[in-house]
């Protein structure tokens, strides 16, 4: 009997079905996309920076309601902003010490103080600025944010004898006050703290307690101050979305229903203002990020956008043809398709080290892209699919920045390629980009395309040299797996599903004869953002069909195995 496929859960506020894992401490995400300028080039010269004269910091429209999250260094800070957006309210993550003037300029409906690793009574701990309270807008403190309010306003916070990490039982006091009213008196929540609130400050009403926290939630409705020790932003707090929605709608008074698609018109206007009558170039990969950025810019400036698609010969089966057909033939974008597979294979001859593979591919990619870009007259702008998660991870806080760091942008581009950046997706998360892509009528295959590494199949041929024969075997095996996953209706439920070709051989029996051929490894994971991932429990019948087809249809393969490693400790990709 096949085991059930373990489906991810969704937040009640979700605007899109999302994949989530509840694994432990997040680790940095892997590069996840295809061979576009902003995704591959950085690997060519990791220390290089590209300096542009200006980048556009697109502030939210003046009429847009928003709630700002002040980041005190918590591991879930980014997730808070994402969950608020899922509830239909725009949100951005700003440093906890952002100027009060800047907050006033943004005119938010409310503030959220995130969690953090510090102890409120320790020297150097981030303080609660009294100016924040003087803004007279509702404030919600989460974990450290709650402890900060309690400590600075006269309550009692101390280190508990035992920490409270993971699932905990939350018990409401009476009706749960304004913030928690209507929720079950007993419920599960997710905790991650050792310091504990023992007494609420004067003027605050305790709302709940937990296994190790005498005061797990409190509120001062007169001053509009609210605190919760648990994390409503994680999926392990089942009623977390209702708590956030109560704060956003009933307390902060947000009425508008924001959606990712609502940014299209304002981004088109901003692009037109920035680019003017000049031309722009976009390194197109077929991934949803570069594709959506290209569509937005194309909508804004039309034929003055030229997309360069560098085909390094290591894409999945028929993928290059699909990119050309979709963008040139169906959408009508000016597209330069460079078939450089032979050049890349020649450069990889004798290379088996994964880091060297990446550097070689990045170097060749830049050479090809630079050569094509130099042929386009009056191209002053470079379009990039930078996401909001990139901005956060690079230490950006939304301000205009002239220097773009290599790890998420075009750090491998030549020094003399002085172009101004256009980043129409820099306020959006990955799932929101998909919503925009769907609104722009990007073909569904590209909207839901699973992340694909910049170096392509080269880093899925592991432990040996990348050859045309090995690429062909891997490409055919991967195509079979994708067909079976799609036929089972599981493609969108998986963060990634792919095949790996280890450069080893194993003994088998095929046609009454001894065979000595390659094994193929099936890798499938569920994830929310690639920071953590769990191996997918694919149905046995799917695995059986895929295995039989791969062995029978892929010459040179006599064994199929399944990778059941989560991240951490493993990574999603093998190299």
In the three-class reduction of DSSP (H, G, I as helix; E, B as strand; rest coil), residue 480 is classed as: helix
Q: Is the peptide bond before 259 cis (omega within 30 degrees of 0)?
A: no
Instruction: List the catalytic residue out of 13, 143, 254, 307.
Output: 143
Active-site residue, 136 included? no
Do β-strands 66-71 and 110-113 pair in parallel, antiparallel, or remain unpaired? parallel
Q: Is the peptide bond before 569 cis (omega within 30 degrees of 0)?
A: yes
Question: CA 324 from chain center: how many Å?
Answer: 26
Edge to edge, the sheet with strand 334-339 lists: 334-339, 305-311, 279-283, 379-383, 420-422
Spatial contact of 70 and 102, defined as CB atoms under 8 Å apart: no
Active-site residue, 231 included? yes
Instruction: List the catalytic residue out of 231, 312, 337, 408.
Output: 231
Which position has the token pair 């103080």?
113
Active-site residue, 101 included? no
Spatial contact of 300 and 307, defined as CB atoms under 8 Å apart: no
Do β-strands 186-199 and 156-172 pair in parallel, antiparallel, or remain unpaired? antiparallel
Rounded to whole angstroms, how far apart are CA atoms 554 and 566? 28
Nearest residue to 412 via CA among 375, 431, 384, 389: 384
Rounded to whole angstroms, how far apart are CA atoms 461 and 459? 5
Give the number of C-alpha atoms closer than 13 A to the C-alpha of residue 534, restricted to the C-beta side.
16
Instruction: List the catalytic residue out of 39, 65, 92, 233.
Output: 233
| Dihedral angle over CA of 433, 438, 442, 444, nearest 10 | 110
Do β-strands 513-527 and 557-563 pair in parallel, antiparallel, or remain unpaired? parallel
Q: What are 505's strand-pairing partners?
A: none
Do β-strands 461-462 and 420-422 pair in parallel, antiparallel, or remain unpaired? unpaired
Q: Is 104 exposed, middle or buried (0-12, 13-18, 19+ CB in 10 A)?
A: exposed
The residues that are catalytic are 143, 231, 233
């Amino acid at each position: 009997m096949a085991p059930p496929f373990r489906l991810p859960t969704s937040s009640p506020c979700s605007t899109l079905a999302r994949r989530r894992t509840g694994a432990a401490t997040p680790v940095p995400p892997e590069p996840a996309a295809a061979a576009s300028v902003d995704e591959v080039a950085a690997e060519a010269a990791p220390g290089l920076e590209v300096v542009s004269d200006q980048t556009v910091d697109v502030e939210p429209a003046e009429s847009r309601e928003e709630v700002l999250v002040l980041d005190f260094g918590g591991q879930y800070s980014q997730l808070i902003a994402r969950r608020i957006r899922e509830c239909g309210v725009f949100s951005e993550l700003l440093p906890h010490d952002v100027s009060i003037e800047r907050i006033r300029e943004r005119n938010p409906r409310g503030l959220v103080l995130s969690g953090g690793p510090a102890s409120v009574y320790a020297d150097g701990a981030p303080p609660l600025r009294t100016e924040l309270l003087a803004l007279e807008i509702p404030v919600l403190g989460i974990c450290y944010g709650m402890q900060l309010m309690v400590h600075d306003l006269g309550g009692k916070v101390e280190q508990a004898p035992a920490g409270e990490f993971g699932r905990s039982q939350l018990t409401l006091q009476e009706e749960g006050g304004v913030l928690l009213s209507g929720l079950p008196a007993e419920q599960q929540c997710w905790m991650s703290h050792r310091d504990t609130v023992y007494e609420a400050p004067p003027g605050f009403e305790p709302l709940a307690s937990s296994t190790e926290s005498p005061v797990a939630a409190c509120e001062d409705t007169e001053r509009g101050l609210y605190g919760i020790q648990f994390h409503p932003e994680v999926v392990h707090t089942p009623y977390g979305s209702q708590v956030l929605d109560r704060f956003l709608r009933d307390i902060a008074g947000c009425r508008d229903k924001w959606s990712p698609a609502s940014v299209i018109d304002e981004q088109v206007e901003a692009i037109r203002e920035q680019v003017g009558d000049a031309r722009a170039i976009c390194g197109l990969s077929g991934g949803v990020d570069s594709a959506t950025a290209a569509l937005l810019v194309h909508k804004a400036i039309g034929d003055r956008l030229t997309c360069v698609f560098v085909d390094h010969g290591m894409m999945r089966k028929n993928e290059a043809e699909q990119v050309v057909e979709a963008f040139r033939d169906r959408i009508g974008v000016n597209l330069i398709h460079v078939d450089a597979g032979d050049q890349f294979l020649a450069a990889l001859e004798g290379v088996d080290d994964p880091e060297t593979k990446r550097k070689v591919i990045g170097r060749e990619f830049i050479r090809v892209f630079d050569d094509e870009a130099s042929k386009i007259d009056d191209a002053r702008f470079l379009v990039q699919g930078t996401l909001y998660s990139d901005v956060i991870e690079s230490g950006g806080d939304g301000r205009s920045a002239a220097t773009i760091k290599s790890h998420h942008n075009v750090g491998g581009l030549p020094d003399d390629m002085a172009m101004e950046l256009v980043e129409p997706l820099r306020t959006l998360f990955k799932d929101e980009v998909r919503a925009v892509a769907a609104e722009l009528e990007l073909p569904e295959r590209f909207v839901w395309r699973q992340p694909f590494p910049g170096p392509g199949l080269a880093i899925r041929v592991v432990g040996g040299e990348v050859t045309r024969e090995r690429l062909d075997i891997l490409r055919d095996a991967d195509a079979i797996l994708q067909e079976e996953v799609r036929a089972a209706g599981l493609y969108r439920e998986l963060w990634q599903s792919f095949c790996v070709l280890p450069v080893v051989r194993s003994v088998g029996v095929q046609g009454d004869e001894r065979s000595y051929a390659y094994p193929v490894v099936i890798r499938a994971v569920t994830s929310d953002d690639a920071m953590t991932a769990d191996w997918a429990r694919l149905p046995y019948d799917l695995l059986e069909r895929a295995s039989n087809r791969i062995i029978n249809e892929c010459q040179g393969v006599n064994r199929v195995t399944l990778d059941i490693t989560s991240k951490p400790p493993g990574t999603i990709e093998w190299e």
